[in-house]
């Protein structure tokens, strides 16, 4: 897709794609680390892909100044978008932040910025692997 076309998409559409892409990378990572039983797989995957985990990661990426101005702008578009769905197992603010997080990943995927996408996802996977518990504020 052309970058200009992706920039015309709303934040929810970008988040929809970003959610799927992040899930695939996390599943691949877990399979590579030897997780194969469905119950264990689901439990471990949730540690990486839940709205709370994504909000925590956003907070950590912001503190580390990991994202460009353009990526922060895409995040804000996703965060501020009206999702028309109710957050499950979390509050509306955390859900909105996770939508913004996913929008960034969707944007990078659709603009075929694969190296940058993988850099961010690998950073996120490593960050979650280093914490016992995350608490987004």
Residue tagged active-site, from 19, 91, 132, 135? 19
| Residue pair 85/25 in contact by the 8 Å Cβ criterion | no
**Alpha carbons 83 and 60: distance in angstroms, whole number:** 24
CB atoms within 10 A of CB 61: 20
**Alpha carbons 28 and 69: distance in angstroms, whole number:** 29
5 catalytically annotated: no
End-to-end CA distance of the chain: 35
Measured over the CA atoms of residue 98, residue 5, residue 64 and residue 117, the dihedral's sign is positive
Q: Which residue, chain included where needed, has tokens 């979390």?
A: 90
**Alpha carbons 111 and 32: distance in angstroms, whole number:** 27
Q: Kindly list the catalytic residues.
A: 19
């Amino acid at each position: 897709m052309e970058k200009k076309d992706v920039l015309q998409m709303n934040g929810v559409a970008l988040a929809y794609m970003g959610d799927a892409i992040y899930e695939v990378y996390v599943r691949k990572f877990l399979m590579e680390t030897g997780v194969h039983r469905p119950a264990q797989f689901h439990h471990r995957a949730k540690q990486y892909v839940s709205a709370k985990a994504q909000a925590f990661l956003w907070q950590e990426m912001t503190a580390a100044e990991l994202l460009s101005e353009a990526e922060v702008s895409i995040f804000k578009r996703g965060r501020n978008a009206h999702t028309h769905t109710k957050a499950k197992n979390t509050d509306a603010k955390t859900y909105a932040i996770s939508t913004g997080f996913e929008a960034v990943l969707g944007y990078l995927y659709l603009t075929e910025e694969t190296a940058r996408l993988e850099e961010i996802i690998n950073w996120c996977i490593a960050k979650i692997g280093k914490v016992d518990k995350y608490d987004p504020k």
